[in-house]
Amino acid sequence: MVLLTLIAAITVGIIRLKNLFAVVVLFSAYSFLMASVMLVLDAVDVALTEAAVGAGISTVLLLGALYLTKSEEAPARFSSLVPLLVAGGTAVILVWGTWGLPDFGSATSPVNTGVGSEYIARSYEETHIPNVVTAVLASYRGFDTLGEVTVVFTAAIGVMMLLNRGRGKGETQGEADGVGGGENGEG
């Protein structure tokens, strides 16, 4: 409950702040708290991914974007009532949707009675990989994992291209900022 309370408090802070640097820092803290929640739920692989991607790479990309833009949010031109109502309605629907779920950790839930027990029983025999999660991701779902890696790589290339848009061909960051001079970049 402490982690969820901190996550809620950080979410309110993210919504209320106008300084974008502070928002990026809070986003990073939010990602670390979500990684902690995943760790408490015994999903170590998801926790590591959230810490690396959510708090690590995302923070670096957001700080890079912030470096290339303004550090204060532009004043709102429209009322925030409609987005607030949509977000509130979505939250109510999501909470309502959880009422039909089985109890958390129940041995008779579909998650625990499905194919998972087969993976646990046969993964080492079929793949010779001692870690079941690695066996599932690298062997049974290898093409799916390859697709996910391709999507993340493509997104990273897209972000790099967007951040590099303002520069001309062969132009370095120093030349784009007016630093340097001379024919060969000499000062």
The confidence score (pLDDT) of residue 176 equals 53
Residue 186 lies in a domain: no
Q: Which two tokens stand for residue 18?
A: 């106008």
Query: pLDDT grade, residue 102 (50/70/90)?
Result: confident
Give yes or no for a contact between 56 and 32, defined as CB atoms under 8 angstroms apart: no
Specify the 3-state DSSP secondary structure of 19: strand
Query: Pick the residue with more confidence: 85 or 46?
Result: 85
Report yes or no on 183 lying in a domain.
no
Query: Residue 44 falls within a domain, yes or no?
Result: yes
Question: Over the stretch 152-178, which tens digit does the pLDDT of each residue have?
Answer: 888 888 888 887 876 666 655 555 555
Q: How many other C-beta atoms can be found within 10 angstroms of the C-beta atom of residue 124?
A: 13
What is the predicted pLDDT for the residue at 45? 76
Answer whether residue 93 is part of any domain.
no
Residues 67 and 116 in one domain: no
Same domain, residue pair 121 and 57: no
Q: Which two tokens stand for residue 3?
A: 């982690």
Residues 61 and 120 in one domain: no
pLDDT of residue 89: 93
182 found inside a domain: no
- Same domain as 62, residue 1: yes
**How many whole angstroms separate alpha carbon 100 and alpha carbon 186?**
68
Segment among 93-97, 167-171, 183-187 with least mean pLDDT: 183-187
Full domain range(s) for residue 142? 111-165
Q: Which of the residue ranges 52-66, 72-86, 90-104 would you say has the lowest mean pLDDT? A: 72-86
Beta bridge partners of 72: 19
Give alpha helix (H) positions in the chain.
Answer: 2-16, 20-40, 44-49, 58-68, 81-98, 110-113, 116-127, 132-135, 142-163, 173-176
Please tell me whether residues 68 and 116 are part of one structural domain: no
Select from 76, 71, 67 the least CA-distant residue to 20.
Answer: 71
Is residue 24 one of the residues assigned to a domain?
yes
Domain boundary among 46, 72, 98: 72
Contact yes or no for 117/110 (Cβ under 8 A)? no
| φ and ψ at residue 123, rounded to 5 degrees | -60, -45
The residues with which 19 forms a beta bridge, in sequence order, are 72
Count of domains for the chain:
2
Is 181:170 a contact under the CB 8 Å cutoff?
no
State the pLDDT at residue 179. 52
Together in a domain, 68 and 115: no
Distance of CA 180 to the CA centre of its chain: 37
Determine, yes or no, domain membership for 94. no
pLDDT at position 187: 46
| Contact of 51 with 31, CB cutoff 8 Å | yes
Would residue 179 count as lying in a domain?
no
User: Bigger pLDDT: 183 or 129?
Assistant: 129
pLDDT in tens, 107-149: 888 777 777 788 888 888 988 888 888 888 888 888 888 888 8
Q: What is the pLDDT of residues 39-72, one digit of tens each?
A: 888 777 788 888 888 888 888 888 888 888 877 7
Collapsing DSSP to helix, strand or coil, 105 comes out as coil
Residue 183 pLDDT greater than 60, yes or no: no
pLDDT band at residue 93 under the 50/70/90 scheme: very high
